[in-house]
Amino acid sequence: KAAGTDPNPNPNPKPKPEPKPRPTPVLFGLEPHHVLPYSIFFASNFLEFVPSYMARGLMSSACFWLPMMKHVYTACSAAPVEKANLKRLLDEGISCAVVPGGVQEVAYLTKSAPKEIIIYLEKRKGFIKYALLHGAKICPVFAFGLEGSYNFWVPKDRLSLEIGRKMGLLPMLFFGAWGIPFGPPKRCELTVVVGEPLDVGPDPHFSEEDPAKLSAAVDATHRKFIDGIKSLFEDHKARLGYGDWTLKVV
């Protein structure tokens, strides 16, 4: 026999399995941020909220600087909310939850208007653009109950706000369970309401090679997202104890 040949070749080799198609990812836009948006963990794989999907809750990279917190957040299926990371996850068919208003919303926290929620969305369009470019569905999400999580003090000077914008973490003081500074949140009931995927039009395929089409779709979908967030708040606030609260979008 020839060297290197198989003396018993298999006449009926098993066909190679077909590669599984990439699942359509979902980009969940969650509001509000409040002190810490730990409601982002609704997208944790452990909760299996998104059946048959891998999911990640994306948070400021500053949350991963401390070794202990980094391990806790990673174990809860969280990841840094960086552009390259978001693009990679969506390309892999992994759903993501983000808080579009980000740390900017912390600057609007005030004790003088305890029944008003301010969210920073009017200029936040980047997450819509990435979702459209990567073929992801977009769902508005609203979390009720964050207000009882922490006591806080937020600086209002321009320097602190600029530091917070650069770092992704506003320099502030907050106290959680048992009055522990920067500790875990107080025990409270948290309800996360998820809206229907937004309609992006009859042609869901977008490219940066057609900037006019992309820009128009981003603007239209962004407006639908804001309306979706408002609707979630208004439709559910009465049954969740927020009947006399107001929502302001800036």
| DSSP states along 144-197 | E-GGGS-EEE---SHHHHHHHHHHTS---EEE-GGG-BT-PPPP---EEEE-PP
> Which range, of 47-51, 148-152, 189-193, averages the lowest pLDDT?
47-51
Higher local confidence (pLDDT), 220 or 59: 220
CB atoms within 10 A of CB 123: 11
Strands (E) across the chain are located at 26-31, 55-59, 78-80, 95-98, 116-119, 137-144, 151-153, 173-175, 191-194, 246-249
Question: How much is the average pLDDT of 125-154?
Answer: 88
Q: How far apart are CA 226 and CA 240, in angstroms?
A: 21
> Residue 192: what pLDDT?
92
Question: Residue 128 burial (CB < 10 Å; 0-12/13-18/19+)?
Answer: buried
pLDDT of amino acid 181: 75
Quick one: average pLDDT of 215-229? 95
> Does 194 score more than 90 pLDDT?
yes
Mean pLDDT value of segment 123-139: 92
Residue range 4-26: average pLDDT? Answer: 66
pLDDT at 2 over 60: no
Q: Which residue has the higher pLDDT, 131 or 175?
A: 131
237, pLDDT greater than 90: yes
What confidence score (pLDDT) does residue 105 get?
A: 80
Residue 195 has pLDDT above 90, yes or no: yes
Task: Tell me the average pLDDT across 132-141.
Answer: 92
The yes-or-no verdict on residue 97 having pLDDT over 60 is yes
Report whether pLDDT(94) > 70: yes
